[in-house]
Structure 1
Amino acid sequence: MTSSPTTHDLAVDAVDGMEQVSGTHPGYRRAHARGVCFDATFTPTGAAAELTTAAHLQQEPVPATVRFSNSEGNPHSPDGRRSGRGIAVKFHLGHGVDTDLVAVNLPVFVVSTPEHFVKLLGALKKDPHTGQNDPALLGAYIKDNPEAIPGFTAAGAMPIPVSYGTAKYWAIHAFRWTNAAGESRYVRYRWEPAAGLQELSPEDAGHQTPEYLTDELTQRLLDGPVRFTLHVQLGEDGDPTNDCTKAWPAERTEIAVGHLDITATSADQEHWAGQVFDPTRVTPGIDLSDDPVLAFRTRAYAESFARRSHGG
């Protein structure tokens, strides 16, 4: 009898698969390889205080570090590609305690389990001679796993942003909030840019410099902070908490729980390049949902960190 792969085995297979898709780039993350960090302040609105005891969602502002990135594992891919973008926010709660919120510019993910993620990476693997993947393999994967269709549909339509500060980002997973009375409910997060959604045409994007998103945001900050508002969708009975390929109904109640003001490029980029922004790093008042992809991410991140921290 063949035993099921362990979480560690799956993490190794996942990172191996990322390397087969994007190549191996020593010292870089296996996904979201190229990014830049910024100093920020998060100011809660107070709207979440009755729903969770989480320290950063009460009344007082907290400092934060924000990492914007492109989703690809190749750090040399130009910004003008139609590709995923990410925002990872590390809230500094004091006394050396942090909590992280990691989001991407897709409302749902393309796989519902770690096993499917490994299979998808196999379908995306590039031919070593041509450097291209086989569309037939990806088509076969989607046919066998139709839950991937909403995510791939969204990926195909994702805009090429004018700025990291003019894109919308979703945390894709559900989390459980608990208040001081011990009452719990599930939520999903979304960042909305105060500047509004602004995108480039593929033609205009092709004329941009390879790292225009970093340069643009640095220049934009000269005119003042770049703001995002954190919106939270409140789940109801029956809304899936264990499947990040499924969106919740649009009519669910939403609240604005805080404003993120990005103020300057972080001084020590080398330090932050070596840090991990982990969506499972939560704080009292917030717990992980039963989403297996969410739980798996910390093992995959650890495997990626181990390789890059040892020069791989």
Structure 2
Amino acid sequence: MPLPEDPATVETAGNLVKTLHGAFGHHPGYRPAHAKGRLVTGTFTPTPEAASLSSAPHFHNPSTPLIIRFSSSTGIPNIPDTDANANPRGMAIRFVLGNAGHQHTDIIAHSTPFFPMRTGAGFLAMLDAIGSGTIGDFLAANPSAAAFVQDPRPSPTSFATERYYGVNAFKFTSKDDGGRETYLRYRILPDAGLSHLSESELASKSPDYLFDELPTRIDQGPVGFKLLAQVAEEGDPTDDATRHWPEERELVELGAIRLDAVMPEEQSAREQKHIIYDPIPRVEGIEPSADPLLEMRAAIYLISGKERRAASVEGTSLSPAGVA
């Protein structure tokens, strides 16, 4: 996972990391955004439709191990699950494609279809406006940021009763049909259906209710999601995360995600300092679109990931295969 070649992208990414630390406090060993999280192991089983769309190995293998991270918003590691600012929630998925080195590809999604700005520079300007107290004027001048802020965000009953959106587009290339190309965006839907809490229900919950509930749910029975793809048509923008495609666009089911076990707390805390999810696929059969946010997000994740690793306690054991 290299840094982008564009120096301006790297500089803006570094400034975003610093600004997020300034907004939420610098917590060594934690992410500057979505700091509170837990790792879960799982399994992905693809559909024939996925194999027809892309030559990516996880769409052709019978099954693929997963390392999933569920998280809450902000850079505050102990933010209560009941805090409104903990929404949107995050779901990052690592497909472990081999037992050595960096043989993996990732999906990063959160529980809103909105993203505030289409570039890293725009997002930095938004954070600066929040810091300077001029966010009202900024939102008035930037409809995409206003839509992101105003999107209703009720807290979920469980991480397993929330839906998650990948806001960036990717290009799938098929193994057959002469390398047919299809642009799409990911969606992740819970098998248990959507369930959110009312304000009165939320008030009765503990500060860690989401993270406490998940192990019990997995122990009691199968917990899973469907990985879907919204397919772009001619004229749909593939380089702008702030612009939605019409809801009538085709949805293709790519496969089933099964949650197997919540990683033990100490192991999860240790591995979260090491694992760096990558917004760019870096795998055969899936390519990034021209969306400028992809390189920017990759740079942010790598810069902050190196900070986390540097803050890790010396002498920890080697991470398992696929955690990188």
Judge same fold: TM > 0.5, yes or no.
yes
Q: Does structure 1 residue 161 correspond to structure 2 residue 147?
A: no
Pairing partner for 1:104 from 91, 99, 110: 110
Residue 26 (1) aligns with residue 21 (2): no
Cα 1:92–1:283 shift into 2, 3 Å: same
CA contact (8 A) 2:10 2:296 kept: no
Is this contact kept in 2: 1:106–1:169, CA < 8 A? yes
2:92 to 72, 88, 91: 88
Contact 1:21-1:124 within 8 A present in 2 as well: no
2:126 matches 1:120: yes
How many residues get paired?
298
**Paired position in structure 2 for 1:173:** 168
Which residue is equivalent to 1:67?
69
**2:273/2:308 contact within 8 Å kept:** no
Q: For structure 2, which runs of at least 5 residues remain unmatched after alignment?
A: 1-5, 313-324
Please state if 1:49 is matched with 2:33. no
SS state of the match for residue 51, structure 2?
coil
1:1-34 Cα deviation digits (max 9, x unpaired): xxx9711210111011111221111110111101
Partner of 1:193: 190
Displacement of 1:68 in angstroms is 0.3
8 Å CA contact retained: 1:11, 1:299:
yes
**What is residue 129 of structure 1 aligned with on the other side?**
none
Deviations 1:211-244 (A, max 9, x none): 1111101111111231100111110111011110
1:213-232 equivalent positions in 2, closer than 5 A: 213-232=210-229
Deviation by residue 1:171-225 (Cα, 9 ceiling, x = unmatched): 1100000012222110000000011111111222122111111110111111123
For 1:87, give the aligned amino acid: M
Q: Secondary structure at the match of 1:264?
A: strand
TM-score relative to the length of structure 2: 0.88
TM-score (norm 1): 0.91
**Counterparts in 2 of 1:66 and 1:260: CA distance versus 1, 3 Å:** same
Which consecutive residues of structure 1, in runs of 5 or more, have no partner in the other structure? 126-132
Query: In the aligned structure 2, how far is the partner of 1:93 from the partner of 1:38?
Result: 17
> 1:110, CA displacement in angstroms?
0.8
Distance in 2 of aligned mates of 1:30 and 1:293:
17
Runs of 4+ in 1 over 4 A off after TM superposition: none
- State the percentage of identical aligned residues: 37
Q: 2:63, 2:311 → 1: CA distance?
A: 37
Distance in 2 (alpha carbons) for counterparts of 1:45 and 1:189: 15
Aligned to 1:199, the other structure's residue is in SS state coil
Q: What's 1:184 paired with?
A: 181
Q: Please give the root-mean-square deviation of Cα atoms over the aligned residues, in Å.
A: 1.7
Q: Following the alignment from structure 1 to structure 2, what is the Cα–Cα distance between the partners of residues 67 and 106?
A: 17
Conserved 8 A contact 2:81-2:208: yes
1:151 maps to which of 140, 148, 152: 148
> How far apart are the structure 2 equivalents of 1:119 and 1:58?
42
User: What amino acid is the match of 2:35?
Assistant: A
* DSSP-derived class of the 1:260 partner: strand
Superposition deviation, residue 76 in structure 1 = 1.4
- Structure 1 counterpart of 2:71, one-letter code: S
Contact between 1:81 and 1:205, CA under 8 Å: does it hold in 2? Answer: no
* Structure-1 separation of matches of 2:120 and 2:163: 25
In structure 1, the partner of 2:242 is 245
Please say if residues 115 and 144 of structure 2, whose CA atoms lie closer than 8 Å, have aligned partners that are also in contact. no
